Amino acid sequence: MGTESKRQQRFAGVIQQDLAELFQRDGSNWAPGAFLTVTKVRVTPDLAIARVYLSFLNTKTAKEDLEQVRKKTTEIRYKLGERIKHQARIVPQLEFFLDDTNEYVEHMDKIFEEISKETRQPD
């Protein structure tokens, strides 16, 4: 995907903010025990599809929680539509993905820590 237009970025921001509020309020119904955050939203140029990246904290079952959220996509889209009906002509289809940036950062930190622990070999 190329660079996003200002229109796409603005619409993605609206969706991200509204979804974040929805997940804050109703997220415990969709992913019990997990703290769910919307880390990023990407919207297609025709604004018909929104790819939503979620981060799950305080849970060991992020993939299972993501599947629970995916099963509730219709309900989430309906609630989003209620919020953005005056700002958008159509409510985009929602696609949910796991944002594993935090896991990647932790993994890289561990690698760097291991490297720094190793004693340097003389050249």
Please provide the DSSP assignment of 57-69 as one string. Answer: ES-S-HHHHHHHH
Report yes or no on 1 lying in a domain. Answer: no
Each residue's pLDDT tens digit, 66-103: 898 899 999 999 999 999 888 888 899 999 999 877 66
Asked which of 4-8, 77-81, 108-112 is least confident by mean pLDDT, the reply is: 108-112
Percent of the chain with pLDDT strictly greater than 70: 93
pLDDT value, residue 121? 55
What's the total number of domains in the chain?
1
Report yes or no on 49 lying in a domain. Answer: yes
Report yes or no on 36 lying in a domain. Answer: yes
Report yes or no on 31 lying in a domain. Answer: yes
Give the HSE-up count for residue 14: Cα atoms under 13 Å, Cβ half-sphere.
17
Residues 117/72, Cβ–Cβ less than 8 Å: no
Residue 55 has pLDDT above 70, yes or no: yes
Report yes or no on 40 lying in a domain. Answer: yes
pLDDT band at 105 (very low <50, low <70, confident <90, very high): confident
Domain that holds residue 68: 6-117
Q: Which CATH number covers residue 107?
A: 3.30.300.20
pLDDT band at 122 (very low <50, low <70, confident <90, very high): low
Name the residue type at position 28. Answer: S
